[in-house]
Structure formats: structure tokens, C-alpha cells
């Protein structure tokens, strides 16, 4: 199958700082990538759809100015959590589809802790 | 209304036994895909099995099979001969209108935590 990497795997930051998370498709090109958020023992909630070369599409209730998404190339999407607060602490996971396969491929996730 | 419903928050099974994890879905699309993913405590999402809405045969992948009942809109996962390593959270997911598969997000159920004991 296809491989999606995500970096960093874990980050701890102070309240008010910004954190950037990278999602890369390693062996395929991804016109579209997806960002999910997951709280402990809960489901994955789609935050936004990242489109290469255009603006991201955010799900209802997700603050665009808070969660900045940039998809500047066919293999890289970034999620920046701006002015992070403790309530932003969560597990963030990206995914992408490869037209050769039915399934979505997920990155290993980023665990964000805001102090 | 929820698109994907998993009614079992937790399931317990002994090693070598079979277990069925329930999933029902709601869609008005004729073309859709159904997925099961496993998420161990490490957080990675591991793809298990896929069923297309037009597939007449139930999907199987090793010890995993998907019991697809289209009229009832159910897509239960059956794990045969459970192993200790099967202990994890299991998510049922759907992709509607997969005409452009890579560009459509998955909708996830709330998940079922499976615990396998020796």
C-alpha cells in the first residue's frame, strides 16, 4: 500500500504558541489530503479537506483562522495550530488516498499537548 | 442522524474465539464504500477490509470478513480465531459516492474497543 508520514509524532508547547504539523505522501501524489482530530477513546472527526494549490475546505465548527492548512505540493500538507490553548490538546491525524487503492492511508498521528 | 453507528462501546472475547463487531450505516447514495480500521493504543490506523456497495460477495482478508447486508444497511466485521494482538479500537467507516475515491473523506463511527483475553 501507499505510505503517509506525519511529523512530529509528539509535541508539547506552551499556551499561545503556534505548532506546525506536516503530512507527507511518500510514494504517491496526493491532490487531496484530510485532517482529523481525535480525543481519547473517541472517534476521528474530520476537520478539513486539504486541496493542493487551493484553499482548504473546513468542516462546520472548525475555525479556519485557528487551524491553518497549506497544501503547497502534491506530497505535502501542513496544519498549523495558531495560538494554541490547552483545549487544542488532542491527537491529530492526516490521511490521503491513492487512486490505485480503495482505502485511505493514514499518517501515524501527532499528539499535541498544550500546557 | 449518524451516518455510521457502532452500538458496542466494548467487546470482550477469549483467544481463539470468533467475534462480531456491529456496524450500521445510513446513506442515500447507490455507490459507496465501507471500511474497517483497527487502532491500537499507539494510535496508528490500520486498514483491515473494504466492501464496495456493488460487491455481491462479502469481503474477506485473512481472519477478517465483512458480513455485508445491503438491505439492512449493515456491515459487521467478523474476526475469526481472536488473538491477543487483536485488542484495539475498531472503527467502521464509509465513503459516499466514491467516483473519485482519493478525494472523498471517510466518515467514522464511534468505535468499538475489543479486549481479547487468554
Confidence of residue B97 (pLDDT cuts 50, 70, 90): confident
Of A32, A106, A111, the CB nearest to B102: A32
**pLDDT tens digit sequence for B45-86:** 999 999 999 999 999 999 999 999 999 999 999 999 999 999
- SS3 per residue for B55-102: CCCCCEECCEEEEEECCCCEEEEEECCCCHHHCEEEEEEEEECHHHHH
Residues of A whose CB is below 8 A from B35: 102-104
Residues found in chain B: 118
Give the tens place of pLDDT for each residue, A23-63.
999 999 998 999 999 999 999 999 999 999 889 999 999 99
Q: Which residues of chain B does A46 touch, with a Cβ-Cβ cutoff of 8 Å?
A: 105-107
Q: Which of B35, B42, B111 sits opposite A103 (nearest CB)?
A: B35
Please report the sign of the dihedral spanned by the C-alpha atoms of residue B97, residue B98, residue B99, residue B100: positive
Amino acid at each position: 500500500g501507499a505510505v503517509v508520514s506525519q511529523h512530529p509524532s509528539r509535541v508539547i508547547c506552551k499556551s499561545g504558541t503556534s505548532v506546525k504539523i506536516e503530512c507527507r505522501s511518500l510514494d504517491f501524489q496526493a491532490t487531496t489530503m484530510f485532517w482529523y482530530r481525535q480525543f481519547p477513546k473517541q472517534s476521528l472527526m474530520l476537520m478539513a479537506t486539504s486541496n493542493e494549490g487551493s484553499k482548504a475546505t473546513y468542516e462546520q465548527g472548525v475555525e479556519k483562522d485557528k487551524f491553518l492548512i497549506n497544501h503547497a505540493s502534491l506530497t505535502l500538507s501542513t496544519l498549523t495550530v495558531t495560538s494554541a490553548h490547552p483545549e487544542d490538546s488532542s491527537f491529530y491525524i492526516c490521511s490521503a488516498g491513492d487512486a490505485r487503492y480503495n482505502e485511505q492511508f493514514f499518517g501515524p498521528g501527532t499528539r499535541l499537548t498544550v500546557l | 442522524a449518524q451516518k455510521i453507528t457502532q452500538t458496542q462501546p466494548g467487546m470482550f472475547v477469549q483467544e481463539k474465539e470468533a467475534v462480531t463487531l456491529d456496524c450500521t450505516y445510513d446513506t442515500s447514495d447507490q455507490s459507496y464504500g465501507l471500511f474497517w480500521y483497527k487502532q491500537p493504543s499507539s494510535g496508528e490506523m490500520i486498514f483491515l477490509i473494504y466492501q464496495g456497495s456493488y460487491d455481491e460477495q462479502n469481503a474477506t482478508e485473512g481472519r477478517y470478513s465483512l458480513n455485508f447486508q445491503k438491505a439492512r444497511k449493515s456491515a459487521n466485521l467478523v474476526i475469526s480465531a481472536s488473538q491477543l494482538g487483536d485488542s484495539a479500537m475498531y472503527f467502521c467507516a464509509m465513503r459516499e459516492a466514491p467516483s473519485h475515491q482519493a478525494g472523498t473523506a471517510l466518515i467514522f463511527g464511534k468505535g468499538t474497543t475489543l479486549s481479547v483475553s487468554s
